[in-house]
Amino acid sequence: MVSACPQEFAELAERLLRAEAERREVEQLTVDIPELTVSDAYRIQRELVRLKQAAGQRLIGFKMGLTSRAKQKSMGVDVPIYGHLFEETAVDDGAAVHLDQLIHPRAEAELAFVIGAELSGRHVTAASVAAAVESVVPVIEIIDSRYRDFKFKLPDVIADNTSASRVVIGRRRAGVSEVDLRLTGVVLERNGEVVATGAAAAVLGNPLESIALLVQLLARDSSGLERGQLVLAGAITEAVPVRRGDVVSAAFDGLGSVMVSFC
Ligand code: OOG
Ligand code: MG
């Protein structure tokens, strides 16, 4: 699809947006278009973002995905990716998420960062990210692939805004120097049962490396991070499927817990 025209990207973005709105699984784009490239896929994602913004949705930040071995192995894709986060996807700690708005959601534990100063450029490092971060915050990301059986290839998941669906934002915020970001442990529980555990070093050695990579990837499109944006570093553990009545919590060392229920 190297020479695809903008209308084709828009049509594919609309297909994914309709699946999300109608809560319906669709076939992977790469079934129809096996030659779809990663750069085509980001163009489709940008088109999807443009359509959401045109519909009045406000961008609040970004998410990295597939940044830990646990996630890469479970999804069969070993390349870190990024997506966009919108205001309407933010959920308060302790709130209930209605499953009739989602397709086949899964929950995963992540560290997120609130950006304190603009960050851009191809040469940004974890150290410059640390200097620009205002705070670290624990989150549960609820991912919900629009593809059948939650299966995709790399270009599919990029086009689908990296399965972004909801973000449950923890109440406690800490400065980056208050916690050891590599050693920060997490225990993910579903209905009181431990379903996954991990340490944040699982995310590219240090979640700040994930944010540095995000800034480098955004720089390819002359974009960057702005003050006040929320950025997810990617799941530390694999994601767990959720059903009606489930309660999921993630307890982070030094950062408290975040919880969500599903009804
Ligand atoms: C893709 C999104 C991955 C993460 O934290 O690794 C992601 C998926 O697994 O559906 O959000
Ligand atoms: Mg995630």
Render pLDDT for 65-97 as a digit per residue (tens, 0 to 9): 999 999 999 999 999 999 999 999 999 999 999
Going by alpha carbons, the residue nearest to atom 4 of ligand 1 is 65
Please state the rounded mean pLDDT for residues 21-38: 96
Q: For residue 237, give its domain range.
A: 59-262
The whole model's pTM is what?
A: 0.96
Strand order in the sheet with 247-252: 96-97, 256-262, 247-252, 185-190, 193-199
Domain assignment present for residue 21? The answer is no
Domain assignment present for residue 25? The answer is no
Domain assignment present for residue 28? The answer is no
Query: In sequence order, what are the residues at sequence separation of 6 or more whose Cβ sits closer than 8 angstroms to the Cβ of residue 107?
Result: 140, 141, 142, 143, 188, 190, 239, 240, 242, 248, 260
How many other CB atoms sit within 10 Å of the CB of residue 37? 15
Number of structural domains, the chain? Answer: 1
Give the separation between CA 32 and CA 254, rounded to whole angstroms.
47
Please state the rounded mean pLDDT for residues 100-125: 97
Domain assignment present for residue 36? The answer is no
Structure confidence at residue 4 (pLDDT) = 61
| Probe target for ligand 1 pocket from 143, 148, 167, 213, with the most ligand atoms within 8 Å of CB | 143
How many other CB atoms sit within 10 Å of the CB of residue 86? 18
CATH of the domain at 195: 3.90.850.10
Ligand 1 binding site (Cβ under 6 Å of any ligand atom): 63, 65-67, 71, 75, 108, 110, 141, 143, 145, 157, 162-163, 234-235
Band of residue 56 on the pLDDT scale cut at 50, 70, 90 = very high
Of 247, 72, 24, 39, whose CA–CA distance to 47 is shortest?
A: 39
Nearest atom of ligand 1 to the alpha carbon of 108: 5
- CA angle 64/69/75 to nearest 5° reads 75
- pLDDT above 70 covers what percent of the chain? 98
